Amino acid sequence: EFSVTSYSVPTGPTVAANGALAAVSGTYGSVSGSTSFTVSGQNLTAGILITPPPGFEVSQTPGGVSGYAATQTIGGAGTVASTTIYLRLAAGTSAGTYSGNVVCSSAGGANASVVVPDSDVLPRSLTISANNRTKPFGTTLSLGAGQTDFSATGLVAGETVGSVTLAATGGTSANDAAGTYFIYPSDATGGTFSPSNYNITYSEGQLTVTGVPFTNPAPASEPSSSRSEEHTSELQSLGN
C-alpha cells in the first residue's frame, strides 16, 4: 500500500507589464503630458523597480503627487497588485527626440519592459534684443563679437547668455552724421544656455548720434581802419 502526495514546484518571482505607451511631447524647460501602463508581480522577494529611458521620469500618480523621479519602486516582497505607472518627459531634458524601453525589474525575476515611442522635446522661444544706444557726434563706437549690451527674454530660469555679436547700419564712426541708425544682434554664445535648446529671434535696437551743439558766434570786431575813418569824419564835422 502506498500514497501519492501532490507537490507544487516553487515558482520564482514574476513581473508583468501591460499597456501601450503613447508618444508625448513638451517644450524645453517644461514637462510634457503623461502616458501610462500597469505593472504587477507575484512571488517577489523585493519591490519592482521602474526605470524609464533617459530623458523621462515616472510617477505613481498622474499629477506627480508621489513625485516624479528618475525611478520608482513599487511594493515589496510577495504580491504587487496591478499598479498604474505614469511616464513623462522631464523639464530638464534637452531639445530632441527620445525613445526606448521602460524596464520593470525585481530581484530574481525576469525583467518586463514597455516600449516608449518617439517623443519630442521642442526648442523654447528666445528673443535677444540689442539695447538702444546714444553717442555724441565726433566720437566712435566699437561693436562686433563679445558684446553684452543686449537683453534676453524667454530663458529657462537660471540660464544666461554670455555675449552676442552687434553690427550697426552706421553711426559708429566719428564723422557719421547725426541721426538714428539700427543695431543688429546675432550669434548668441557663452553663458549657461545651450543654443540648440532654443529657437532664437534677434531684434534690432537703435543707435542715436547726437549733433554738435549750435552756438552763436561772437560779434566780429570792426577793423581799425574803419574806426579811424569814422573818427576823422567826426572831427571834420566839429571843425565846420
For residue range 214-223, list pLDDT tens digits in order.
455 555 555 5
Q: Give the H or E element holding residue 229.
A: helix 224-239
Reported as a single tens digit per residue, the pLDDT across 101-138 is 999 999 999 999 999 999 999 999 999 999 999 999 99
pTM given for the model: 0.79
Residue 28 contacts residue 95 (beta carbons within 8 Å)? yes
C-alpha span between 39 and 232 (Å, rounded): 123
| Mean pLDDT within 152-180 | 97
Residue 109 contacts residue 49 (beta carbons within 8 Å)? no
> Alpha-carbon Rg of the chain, whole angstroms?
39
Reported as a single tens digit per residue, the pLDDT across 57-84 is 999 998 877 799 999 999 999 999 999 9
Banded model confidence at residue 234, pLDDT cuts 50, 70, 90: very low
